[in-house]
């Protein structure tokens, strides 16, 4: 069985909760985030360990079936989730999850003790600075980093020409799947509102950059998620997850 993508693990952990978590978004958080970024990339090159969660095959199957079931019945699931939103508790089991009660308990246990992230490949990435703007150059799976720019003076993160707004400090639900102690997030969500009711013609883009400190010291977490849809056709769907050292 193919390893389950990081994005599915993260999505499943998010779905388990009936309410979202608040994030810290203020000027101090912004300054700290860019100081952290400046320090992290104050080098000519780094090694990037591309990683994925070390999940047993039987759990991978359960996660995939749960994700498929709630994705196929989105309207019901949103209503079910909202029903318990006020309490902020874990969602109670429902047979429409596509898994058994025992399997659901195993997912909940996995969230309490997230799997380790294991390295599946390594890439060398070069770093350059021009007018206080950080640029990257990587090969293989790290090639996507060439679209990332970090403007330290203007305190902006840019990806493929789009400015990615600072979203604040990562919250507990976002830190947990990657075994992080703290982190910063930048996130852009765009959609063509005129066509959102026509799902087969929707145009949308999601870009997310996460930087954080893992429980295991010595490395820094770096993740880029990029999804792009044009007139209902998926043009890009990438999730690069790993560690800088």
**Joined tokens for residue 239:** 């999730």
Interhelix angle for 101-112 vs 57-72, to 10°? 110
* Under 8 Å between Cβ of 158 and 169: no
The vertex-220 CA angle with 218 and 223, nearest 5°, equals 150
pTM of this structure:
0.78
Tell whether 223 is covered by a domain: yes
Is 114 part of any domain? yes
In the chain, the number of structural domains is 1
In a domain, 78, yes or no: yes
Residue at 86 is within a domain: yes
Quick check: is 1 in a domain? no
By residue range, what is the domain housing residue 87?
Answer: 6-244
Domain for residue 11, yes or no?
A: yes
- Residues 150 and 134: beta-carbon distance below 8 Å: yes
The tens place of each residue's pLDDT in the chain, 245 residues long, gives 344 555 555 555 555 655 444 455 677 899 999 999 999 999 999 999 999 888 888 888 898 898 888 888 878 888 888 887 666 567 889 999 999 999 999 888 887 788 888 999 999 999 999 999 999 999 998 999 999 999 999 999 999 999 999 999 998 878 888 889 999 999 998 876 555 555 556 667 889 999 999 988 789 999 999 888 776 666 777 889 999 99
């Amino acid at each position: 069985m193919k390893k389950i993508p990081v994005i599915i693990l993260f999505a499943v952990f998010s779905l388990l909760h009936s309410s979202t978590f608040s994030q810290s978004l203020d000027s101090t958080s912004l300054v700290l985030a860019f100081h952290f970024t400046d320090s992290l990339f104050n080098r000519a090159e780094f090694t990037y360990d591309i990683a994925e969660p070390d999940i047993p095959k039987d759990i991978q199957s359960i996660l995939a079936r749960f994700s498929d079931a709630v994705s196929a019945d989105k309207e019901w699931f949103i209503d079910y989730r909202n029903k318990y939103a006020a309490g902020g508790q874990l969602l109670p089991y429902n047979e429409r999850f596509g898994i058994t009660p025992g399997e659901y308990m195993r997912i909940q246990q996995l969230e309490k003790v997230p799997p380790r992230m294991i390295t599946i490949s390594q890439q060398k990435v070069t770093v350059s600075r021009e007018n206080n703007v950080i640029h990257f150059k990587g090969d293989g799976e790290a090639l996507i980093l060439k679209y990332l720019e970090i403007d330290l003076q203007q305190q902006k993160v840019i990806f493929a020409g789009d400015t990615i707004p600072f979203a604040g400090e990562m919250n507990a639900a976002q830190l947990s799947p990657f075994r992080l102690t703290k982190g910063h997030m930048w996130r852009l969500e765009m959609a063509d509102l005129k066509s959102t009711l026509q799902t087969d013609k929707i145009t949308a883009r999601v870009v997310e950059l996460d930087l954080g400190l893992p429980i295991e010291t010595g490395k820094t977490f770096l993740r880029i998620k990029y999804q792009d849809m044009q007139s209902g056709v998926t043009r890009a769907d990438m999730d690069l997850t790993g560690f800088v050292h």
